[in-house]
Amino acid sequence: MTVKFVERVAQFGPEKGVIGIVAEPAETTSDEKLGVVILNTGTIHRVGHHRMYVSMSRKLARAGRTVLRFDFSGLGDSSPHSSARPLLQSNLEDIEAAIDWLQTTRGISQVVLVGLCSGADHAILYGFSDARIVGLVLIDPYVPPTARYFLDYLSRRLRDVKSWRNFRLHRSKLLRRLLEHLSQALHKEGGPGHLVYQGLDVRASLEKAYEVTTQVGVKLLVICTGRHHAPRQTYREQFTSAFSRVSFEASLHLEFFKDTDHTFSSVESRNELDELVRFWCETTKFDRSPFQLSNRSDIAALWTA
Amino acid sequence: MLCSSWGREYSNAHRSIRALSKRLCAIGLDTLRFDYYGAGDSGGETVDAQLDGWRADISTALSELKDMSGRPRIAVVGMRLGATLVAQSAQQLSIKADNIILWDPILCGSDYVDSLLDRQNRHDEKSSDPAVSGSSAVAADSELGGLLVSSSFVDGLSSIDLCSRRVMLPSRVLTIFTDGPHRDCEIGSLSKDSSEVATLKAPSPWKDSAEQEEGLPVEVIDRILKWLK
């Protein structure tokens, strides 16, 4: 199904200071009430790296979805958040305001959140707490390193002639990466580019978020990339191994883009991603339980942005 | 009116361009910033974009700003490719610009395209893992800076030569360079009497965030405001 779509400016939140673009079918063709909300990656505004969120939202809109991509307060064209609340809390409130806007103005009652890197971190920290969230597309979420990750990484670097040359010159990225992981393990910090963890155990905290998310019936599409000089993931099952205590069962659809880099810098990889997200939204049976298990602030309070 | 760069430079500099527009508004100037066709939030795909079209977009935006603001005088600020497009089309704009500010314009298109290709190749080389697949760069000829562009767009970029005498500029132009040493040339027919070239020690906001963590280019923004006052 390909339908004509339109794009409009969306303004919502306190004093309508949060700015986004909604792409939607030009005419309402069915009583479809599933919308998609795309979150910022780091400090890049709603257009995304290589304009990836513009093309993704247009393709989804052509497939009949209503898609909102917006800037968190203080990013892109949105006004700075005015409260004294922590940045993460403000961002989670912006997500809530975005969904309120979709519900009020478009009658959308079920939403899939899409996020890459820090966007994925926001999505997993928010999803379980709002009964309107039925699915999460988490692209390169924070995945703690596993024993096999270290072995894979070490093995790759040892086979790379250049890294030996660098090692000899005391410029080894391998050494730096291993020290970085060791430092993270010792200091319990989050990964680069992701939200920064400020205490306790990052793996346990995320396990709790994933556990409650799956328990309330939110469906997960997790996409990890593996093509980077210092990849965060080296194999498809790293995600499930890292969160082995979580019973994902049928909630999880896991994909590994082995030859894709973190920001999907090739057109081909972005097309593949767009098609996967469209197909997953099209074919997944979303049936979230209305039962609430946990309060958002229980988990969000452990993080800072 | 503010004319941005494109691609990664556009994304990276979005915050600085917005900061500049807010500062201009704060001193009472109506300000318009926009995305070219096939860029940012604007309609169209990048592969359909043409530099001629983007120069026409600048004229359209100028007319829009004039209509909306009703102001008798207009200043145009261009950053990187935006500056180059403004300089190239200064004499053909729908509305005469009283003031032009060129912020680190791209002077030589072929050097610029080479730098994008070089960056792309380095990225592909860094990203590829010889032990995994031995896969070659995914980028095709028409992929530039991670975006699919037409060959005529690349040709248009490559043919940029802002030092050419054919580039006709109005009398009052401020040119700002921040990006280290630049090719020593005079831009087109720049008048030495009423124009100025400033070299400022300031961050280059279009660079990747990993390369520029100095914050907003306050020195450049202050210089632009001073010039316009």
Write down the pLDDT at residue B214. Answer: 62
Q: Which CATH topology does B2-107+161-228 take?
A: Rossmann fold (3.40.50)
- Cβ-based burial of A187 (10 A; exposed 0-12, middle 13-18, buried ≥19): exposed
What confidence category does residue A30 fall into, taking pLDDT thresholds of 50, 70 and 90?
Answer: low
CA distance A215 to chain B (A): 36
Of B15, B123, B209, the CB nearest to A265: B123
Q: What is the dihedral of CA A203, A206, A211, A216, to 10 degrees?
A: 180
Residue ranges per domain, chain A? 5-144+200-304
Contact A55, A23 (CB under 8 A): no
At residue B181, the pLDDT reads: 56
Lookup result for tokens 């070089």: B118
Smallest CA-to-CA distance from B120 within A270, A266, A116 is with: A266
What are φ and ψ of residue A254, in 5° steps? -110, 130
- Residue-wise pLDDT tens digits, B25-55: 999 999 999 999 999 999 999 999 999 999 9
Q: Do A234 and A266 contact (CB within 8 A), yes or no? A: no
Distance between CA atoms of B62 and B94, rounded to whole angstroms?
7
This model of the complex carries an ipTM of 0.87
Higher per-residue confidence, A172 vs B102:
B102
Domain ranges of chain B: 2-107+161-228, 109-159
pLDDT, one tens digit per residue, over B157-210 is 999 998 887 788 877 899 999 876 565 667 766 666 778 899 998 988 998 864
Q: For the CA atoms of chain A, what is the radius of gyration?
A: 19
Rg (CA), chain B: 18
Those residues of chain A whose CB sits closer than 8 Å to some CB in chain B are: 7, 21, 42-47, 49-51, 54-55, 75-77, 155-156, 159-160, 226-229, 231, 258-259, 261, 263, 265-269
Of A54, A195, A56, nearest to A126 by C-alpha is A195
Selecting from A7, A77, A268 the residue whose C-beta is nearest the C-beta of B138 gives: A268
> What DSSP letter does each residue of B79-143 carry, written as one string?
ETHHHHHHHHHTTT-SS--SEEEEES---BHHHHHHHHHHHHHHHHHHH--TTTT-------TTE
Instruction: Check pLDDT > 80 for residue A40.
Output: yes
Which residues in A lie closer than 8 A to residue B13 (C-beta atoms)? none
Shortest Cα distance from A163 to chain B (angstroms)? 11
Distance CA B84, CA B103 (A): 9
Q: Which CATH architecture has domain A5-144+200-304?
A: 3-Layer(aba) Sandwich (3.40)
